[in-house]
Chains A and B, each alone.
Chain A
Amino acid sequence: MTQRDERIDADVRRVEGKAFVLLKWGVFAVLVVRWFVLGQTLAETWDFFAVWVVASLFEYFMYALRGVPMSYPVPLNRRDQLVFLATVPVVTGLLPVLILHLRGALTGWGHALGIFGRTYIAMLALFALYRAINAWWERRSLK
C-alpha cells in the first residue's frame, strides 16, 4: 500500500526536474568537449548525441502537448512573435555554417547554403509542429 503526500510528491518532481536539467546540459557539455577540444566526429559520439537529441525532443514536444506557450515565461505580442520566428531559424541556420567555417570544413558557397537551408527548414518545421500541437491542445482542453 502506498500513501501519497502532495508536498513530498511536489518536491520529488522538483528534484527530478533539476536532475534532468543537470543531465541534459552535462551530456551537452561532454559533446562540446569531445567535438571541439578532443576533435572527435559525430560518428564517434553518436551514442551521447542520440541520448541528448531524444531527451531534448521529448522535452520540447511534451511542453507542446501540455499547452506551454513556446516563448514561456516571456509573453510575446504579435510583433515579437514574428521577430522571434524570423530571427531564431536564421541564427540556428548560421551557427553550423559558422562552426564548419571555423573548422575549415566548408567546401564552398553551395555547401554553406545547403547546411543553412536544411537547418533553417528543420527549425521552421519544429516551430510549426509546436504551434500545431499547442493549437490542438487548446481545442481539446479549453473549448
Chain B
Amino acid sequence: MGTVRNRVRLSRAEKQMTQEDLADMVGVTRQTIGLIEKERYNPTIALCLGLCRSLGKTLDELFWMEENDDTER
C-alpha cells in the first residue's frame, strides 16, 4: 500500500485558522491535527470528512495516496 499524503496545513493556513481552531471544529485535540499535518497519523474516514467540511475542500483535494516505489524489490 502507498502513503497517505494531505494538504491540511496549507488549507488551514488559507483559512487563517490555528491548529486549535480546527481541532475544536472537528472535535479532536490540537496534537492530533499536528500529527495529521505532519503525516504521522492517518485519520479515520469520518475525521477526514470532518476536516473537508471545516476547510471547505473535497476529500481528494485534501487527501491522496502516493504509491510507494517497490521497483527495487
Question: Which A residues fall within an 8 A CB radius of B?
Answer: 67, 69, 72, 75, 138, 141-142
Contacts and interface: CB of A to CB of B under 8 A. Distances in A.
B55 to A, nearest CB: 19
Contacts of A67: 31, 35
Contacts of A69: 29, 31
B40 interface: yes
Majority SS at the chain A contact face: loop
B34 interface: yes
B35 A141 contact: yes
A25 B48 CA distance: 35
B38 A141 contact: yes
14 contacts: A67-B35, A69-B29, A69-B31, A72-B29, A75-B29, A138-B31, A138-B34, A141-B31, A141-B34, A141-B38, A141-B40, A142-B31, A142-B35, A142-B38
Given A72-B29, A142-B31, A142-B34, 14 more contacts: A67-B31, A67-B35, A69-B29, A69-B31, A75-B29, A138-B31, A138-B34, A141-B31, A141-B34, A141-B35, A141-B38, A141-B40, A142-B35, A142-B38
Contacts of B34: 138, 141-142
Nearest to A69: B29
Contacts of A142: 31, 34-35, 38
Nearest to A138: B31
